[in-house]
Amino acid sequence: MEKIKQSLTLLLIIFFMFFSSFAQGHKNYIVHVSKTHKPPIYGTHHQWYISILTSLPPPHDTKKLLYTYQHSFHGFVAHLTETQALILPNIPGILKVAQERTGYLHTTRTPDFLGLTELSGLWTNSNYGEEVIIGVLDTGVWPESESFNDDGLSPVPEKWKGECMSGPDFPVSSCNKKLIGAKFFVKAYEAKYGAINDSVQSRSPRDTDGHGTHTASIAAGSVVKNAGYYDLVRGEARGIATKARVAVYKICWAEDCAEGDILAALEQAVDDGVDIISISIGRGSGLEYDDDAFAIGALRAVQKGILVTCSAGNDGLKTKKTPEHVAPWILTVGASSIDRDFRADVILGDGTMYRGVSLYSGEPLGPSYYPLVYAGNHGHRLCAGNSLSKAVKGKIVLCDGGINSNSQKARVVKEAGGVGMILANNLYTGPGGPADEHVLPATMVDPTAGNTIRNYIKSQPSGNATIIFKGMVIGGNPTIPAPLVAQFSSRGPNRVTPEILKPDLIAPGVNILASWTGASIPPLKFNISSGTSMACPHVSGIAALLRKAYPEWSPAAIKSALMTTAYNADNTGKTIRDFTTLNESTPFDRGSGHVDPNKALDPGLVYDLGVNDYIGFLCSIGYTESRISVMVHDQNINCSTVGLASPGDLNYPSFSVVFKPATNKVTQRRVVKNVGKSENVVYDVKVSSPPSINIDINPSRLVFSPEKQILSYEVTFTALGDQTKDALPEFGWIEWSDGFHRVRSPVAFTWGKGSVASI
């Protein structure tokens, strides 16, 4: 066996000595090494790795050993030729050699997952959003973070009217050509909670929480070489609109984000001249528009041409909880997973393996197996506070998921003397799921694996196990299905106005690496976090790129481009699934689909809207002129002149149809504008409808000409047969295409039980 291997190696060497004179490109390789194979003559693993590398055929370069790892896995990353990488696996002790995927893609990953490249598409067509200003309303910013370096940026845009508040904890030097503005809003908060205690939080734009620094760096973080999270991820990190400018408005403090401060910050951002506003902060679902500071402030922003992007909320499938920020003038973003995992697999004594995820980054378990016990037999199945008996000492403990937090369970196991923890989640947590930091070697497996492991313990009282920490895995084998709608992402229907489908779309929000506050314990430059809070700034960054590419587009046109070009199939070609159930997701979960930046650059048609349309919409849902004037105070409002026949007539890029009792027919109107390269173009419509509903479009062909760049159509939805009022929601879609562009809108059907607003 050994012999065959050697001759094969020799053959390869000969082949590559010939070949490598043509292609002597170096690439980064991740080399997994068996810890115990280190020959005793080497004092450290590092010395051993250097000697391995010098034993390879030339060229030799002392700098090719880039990193040595000893925590999440054993091994190193080296810059090697293909020939060298091919020979490496034959050296005793080398377990696996894998080519690293290009630079930054490894670290932040999401730009690559979104299809953004340096070669073509939205990045190159927008010069990375240079000159565009993104206002981030959040917990402030850690200005020293490398994500806000301004290397190579042009001067601060002239239109910028904002300022950088300085003070003892926020020197003038905190701002630069990247972080062009920073302000804090605390009056309303202090009125409510008393004066800020400076020794606990910073009375300045400084972020002592981490959330604001994370979201701002996702939207517009500059390129940072050698970023990482412990040893789990290393490489280049970057935001979406790498050259866009950031203006930070700190509105959230230890207890709360006060409504007065929110409104003041929104006003300020508009006056300062931002182009995009990104809000990853919620106030709960179900708020009326004129009772919601975000909706009120956002309408004014939209009136001034500023797009407002908000997170949909993290209420997942909880009943009665629905998306937040549902105003039709806001772009509402749900969260999805990407094709990357932080893998930590369980191997049982019987040799079976179960996929798990973990952000644990300390010393891994030794190579041997440890006795495995179930927490339910030794105190409390949930590993709740101080519940475990000392019998778990030196053992791996299987805890059930739910109730108390995952990281608390790990602390309880550690305090009882356990060496490791396997968390059997009560929801599907498999590939692509959010991973947690832990105080001891711990991983999380999905319910099916949890059941199998529980049964193994029952049948093998002296059973054993180990956890193998594999670090970051992209793509995976079998493939990590992606995107999936994240389990925590808030789902429709829209409780405030059922005729508007929300969320609008989904974007990456699971295990996102971005900058963090330096005030954290331990201090972290970068951290991994999950939530719709992380999804929103991805879309804010993409919107900034589109704003740069099309300076004349309205916020609604940008939003339309993002929605009608979103995709709905995952990397296996099937409809995007829901993480929790692995069932197909619906437009209530994913809205128009997953954002597709490069497609949004060329949407073909857009559904445009202006502030008068929103006023007409508010009239149509029964708001009086005086209620509306609370939100729009610089113009006279007369609902009998601007009102829409129904809220469903708002020129929205998606459809939500509510069949009221005794009505089986609903008609909605839309207007589309040709924004494609050709003025003479013909679009035909295609629909998909559930069997119980008929969709009729008139006209079904739109012929655009230089004189006619804006055309309208009417859709009639007819429910066939007898629909009981308890009927489940149904879904379909409408797609206009000229053979090249596909302008697609999802349709949701629900059956109202009385008034329009009660669903």
Ligand X SMILES: *[C@@H]1O[C@H](CO)[C@@H](O)[C@H](O)[C@H]1NC(C)=O
Q: Using CB atoms within 10 A of its CB, is residue 71 exposed (0-12), middle (13-18) or buried (19+)?
A: middle
Interface with ligand X includes 455 (CB under 6 A)?
A: no
Compute the half-sphere exposure of residue 449: CA atoms within 13 Å on the CB side of its CA.
26
Residue nearest ligand X, CB atom distance: 349
CB 397, min distance to ligand X, A = 16
Task: Considering the candidates 45, 74, 106, 211, report the single residue annotated as catalytic.
Answer: 211
Strand partners, 550: none
Active site residue 211: yes
CB 200, min distance to ligand X, A = 5
Cα 236 from Cα 108, distance rounded (Å)? 7
- Which of 347, 524, 687, 757 contacts ligand X by CB under 6 A? 524
Interface with ligand X includes 448 (CB under 6 A)?
A: no
523 three-state secondary structure: coil
Cis peptide before 431 (omega within 30 of 0): no
Contacts (Cβ under 8 Å, ≥6 apart) of 511: 337, 338, 340, 341, 342, 359, 434, 435, 528, 530
Give the pair of three-digit tokens for residue 695.
């969709």
**325 touches 311 (CB < 8 A):** yes
Q: What is the DSSP letter of 100?
A: P
Cα 470 from Cα 348, distance rounded (Å)? 16
Query: Whose CA is closest to 219, among 145, 294, 281, 128?
Result: 128
84 three-state secondary structure: helix
- Which of 54, 99, 352, 638 contacts ligand X by CB under 6 A? 638
CB 42, min distance to ligand X, A = 28
**Residues 559-588 contacting ligand X, CB under 6 A:** 581, 583
Ordered DSSP codes for 359-405: ---SPPP-SS-EEEEEGGGSS-TT--TT---GGGTTSEEEEE-SSS-
Cα 234 from Cα 129, distance rounded (Å)? 25
Contacting range for ligand X; rule: CB under 6 A; set: 505-513, 523-531, 681-689, 746-754 = 523-531
Contacting range for ligand X; rule: CB under 6 A; set: 27-35, 218-226, 516-524, 748-756 = 516-524
Task: Considering the candidates 202, 529, 533, 654, report the single residue annotated as catalytic.
Answer: 533
CB 638, min distance to ligand X, A = 4
CB 520, min distance to ligand X, A = 3
**Residues 191-210 contacting ligand X, CB under 6 A:** 197, 199-200, 210
CB 374, min distance to ligand X, A = 16
**232 touches 471 (CB < 8 A):** yes
Cα 342 from Cα 571, distance rounded (Å)? 19
Interface with ligand X includes 728 (CB under 6 A)?
A: no
Residue 251 or 396 with smaller CB distance to ligand X: 396
Residue 479 or 583 with smaller CB distance to ligand X: 583
Contacting range for ligand X; rule: CB under 6 A; set: 142-150, 185-193, 519-527, 590-598 = 519-527
Residue at token pair 């005030």: 519
**360 touches 469 (CB < 8 A):** yes
Interface with ligand X includes 724 (CB under 6 A)?
A: no
CB atoms near residue 742 (< 10 Å): 17
Interface with ligand X includes 498 (CB under 6 A)?
A: no
Interface with ligand X includes 729 (CB under 6 A)?
A: no
Cα 104 from Cα 115, distance rounded (Å)? 13
CB atoms near residue 633 (< 10 Å): 9
Contacts (Cβ under 8 Å, ≥6 apart) of 184: 140, 165, 203, 204, 205, 249, 250, 251
Interface with ligand X includes 386 (CB under 6 A)?
A: no
Ordered DSSP codes for 205-216: SB-SSSHHHHHH
Residue 497 or 527 with smaller CB distance to ligand X: 527
CB 327, min distance to ligand X, A = 25
Query: Whose CA is closest to 175, among 194, 162, 190, 188?
Result: 162
**Residues 457-476 contacting ligand X, CB under 6 A:** 464
Interface with ligand X includes 477 (CB under 6 A)?
A: no
Interface with ligand X includes 640 (CB under 6 A)?
A: yes
Active site residue 533: yes
Contacting range for ligand X; rule: CB under 6 A; set: 319-327, 547-555, 633-641, 643-651 = 633-641
Residue 154 or 641 with smaller CB distance to ligand X: 641
Contacting range for ligand X; rule: CB under 6 A; set: 133-141, 215-223, 506-514, 522-530 = 522-530
Q: What are phi and psi of 293, to 5 degrees?
A: -55, -40
Output Rg (C-alpha) for the chain, integer angstroms.
28
- Which of 54, 455, 641, 663 contacts ligand X by CB under 6 A? 641
Interface with ligand X includes 533 (CB under 6 A)?
A: no
Task: Considering the candidates 20, 45, 126, 138, report the single residue annotated as catalytic.
Answer: 138
**Residues 326-345 contacting ligand X, CB under 6 A:** none
Contacting range for ligand X; rule: CB under 6 A; set: 261-269, 414-422, 638-646, 663-671 = 638-646
Residue 617 or 652 with smaller CB distance to ligand X: 617
Please calculate the CA angle 317-319-324 and round it to the nearest 5 degrees: 70
Active site residue 138: yes
What burial letters (b/e) apply to 126-145, b meaning 16+ CB within 10 Å?
A: bbbbbbbbbbbbbbbbbbeb
Interface with ligand X includes 529 (CB under 6 A)?
A: yes
CB atoms near residue 367 (< 10 Å): 11
Residue 17 or 353 with smaller CB distance to ligand X: 353
Residue 428 or 717 with smaller CB distance to ligand X: 428
Cα 131 from Cα 139, distance rounded (Å)? 24
Q: What binding mask, one character per residue, do residues 111-140 give for ligand X by CB under 6 A, x or -? A: ------------------------------
For helices 293-303 and 259-272, angle between their N-to-C axes, nearest 10 degrees: 10
Amino acid, single-letter form, for residue 706: P
Please calculate the CA angle 457-463-469 and round it to the nearest 5 degrees: 95
Residue 350 or 363 with smaller CB distance to ligand X: 350
CB 468, min distance to ligand X, A = 15
Residue 291 or 350 with smaller CB distance to ligand X: 350
Contacting range for ligand X; rule: CB under 6 A; set: 318-326, 393-401, 520-528, 719-727 = 520-528
Contacting range for ligand X; rule: CB under 6 A; set: 417-425, 550-558, 636-644, 706-714 = 636-644
Interface with ligand X includes 757 (CB under 6 A)?
A: no
**Residues 226-265 contacting ligand X, CB under 6 A:** none
Interface with ligand X includes 143 (CB under 6 A)?
A: no
Interface with ligand X includes 369 (CB under 6 A)?
A: yes
- Which of 527, 586, 651, 656 contacts ligand X by CB under 6 A? 527
Please list the alpha-helical segments (H only) found in 165-280. Answer: 187-193, 211-220, 259-272
CB 211, min distance to ligand X, A = 7
Cα 692 from Cα 379, distance rounded (Å)? 53
CB 715, min distance to ligand X, A = 28
Residues with active-site annotation: 138, 211, 533
Contact residues toward ligand X (CB under 6 A) are 197, 199-200, 210, 349-350, 368-369, 464, 520, 522, 524, 527, 529, 581, 583, 638, 640-641
